[in-house]
Amino acid sequence: MPETKDSAAHIVERLSSSYGVTSQRALASCLDVPSNNVSAWVQRKSVPGNAIIKCALDTGADLKWLVTGEFAFAKNESLKITKKDTSSSGHVLLKKMLSSGGRAVLSRIIEAYGFRTQKELGEHLNISSGTISTWVRREYFPGDVVITCALDTGASLEWLATGEMGIASLEETTSSGIPMVSKKILLAGKLDDDGFCYIDQSFVPDGVNLNNLNFVRSGKSSWLIEMGVNELSNGSWLLDIDGTLDIYTVSKRPGNKIRIIGHDGEFECLINEVKAKGLVVVILKNAI
């Protein structure tokens, strides 16, 4: 959690300000927790991440301001949530958050960071693999880690917490207008999700459907691939050959045949003996 424990009282003050309430009892009602919980947080000098996430999603308050107090609170009066409004919507939100714990929330956190394994996440956040395994086994919702991930990566807090808002919504909120595309890793003939990345549109050839564009990497090579294109022509392609995916150079031959060149050899076959999964539109190679 990106906040010192002795600031719990200040966090409670910012939570109260966000909801527009003045007492700990009223804040507890807004957060849908027992009335004595808030005072216990102050005494223990630790506010649970779940409460902070719920407040941010309920009221629209800036997450970093709630956690650190670094930014001025500039939320319009019209955005304040009344006790009556919160008692209903807040309960539903809390239920969604807690029911989205365990493996589901862990997968979203790993995806937001762009990691591939739980081990990478644990090393980045200095959390033991045993602790992460416990989240999965007990369907636990790690609120503090969700907050850290949102602040670190800029991923949608709502998506991280509930899974209901796609991470691709980041594209709509960035001022740069640079499109976000899915990242994939090609490993052992399989294509696995590898997070998201931003692509400068000037690198993409005209006519390419950005919605179908994937950044695919394998070893020291990577490609921009327009997925779903399946009418084979001369060029580089992502092909499925006998259930195994790889990148090949394709050239057409008479008699409905094609010549296929891969990293470990070349051969000819009938065009219907392979399945085209996507057209390579840009080839990128590591200079090292």
The per-residue DSSP string of 171-239 comes to HHH-SS-PPEEEEEEEETTEEEEEEEEE--GGGSPTT--GGGEEEEEETTEEEEEEET--S--SEEEEE
Cβ neighbours around 56 below 10 Å, total: 23
Segment among 11-20, 62-71, 244-253 with least mean pLDDT: 62-71
Q: Is residue 84 predicted with pLDDT exceeding 60?
A: no
Please measure the distance between the N-terminal and C-terminal CA atoms of the chain and give it in whole angstroms: 37
In CATH, the number for domain 5-98 is: 1.10.260.40
**Residue ranges of the domains in the chain?**
5-98, 103-167, 180-285
Both tokens assigned to 89: 């919507």
Average pLDDT (212-225) is: 88
* Radius of gyration in angstroms for the set of CA atoms belonging to the chain, rounded to a whole number: 24
As a whole number, mean pLDDT of residues 43-54 equals 90
Per-residue pLDDT of 232-264, as tens digits, reads 999 999 999 999 999 999 999 999 999 999 988
Q: Does position 6 have pLDDT exceeding 50, yes or no?
A: no
- The CA distance from 56 to 111, in Å, is 22
Please report the pLDDT score of residue 64 as a whole number. Answer: 85
Where is pLDDT greater, at 99 or 207? 207
> Residue 94's pLDDT band (boundaries 50, 70, 90)?
low
Report the pLDDT value the prediction gives residue 139, as an integer from 0 to 100: 85
CB 143 within 8 Å of CB 48 = yes
pLDDT at 269: 94
Domains 103-167 and 180-285 share a fold: no
Q: What is the architecture of the domain spanning 103-167?
A: Orthogonal Bundle (1.10)
> Which pair of tokens denotes residue 128?
């033991």
| pLDDT at 208 exceeding the cut of 80 | yes
Q: Supply the mean pLDDT for the chain.
A: 80
Architecture of domain 180-285: Ribbon (2.10)
Among the listed ranges 42-51, 56-65, 67-76, 168-177, which one has the minimum average pLDDT value? 168-177
Residue 89 confidence (pLDDT): 52
pLDDT in tens, 119-175: 889 899 999 988 888 888 888 888 889 998 888 888 888 888 887 754 444 444 443
In this structure, of 10-24, 80-94, 252-266, the range with the lowest mean pLDDT score is 80-94
Closest C-alpha to 132, from 186, 140, 124: 140
SS3 74: coil
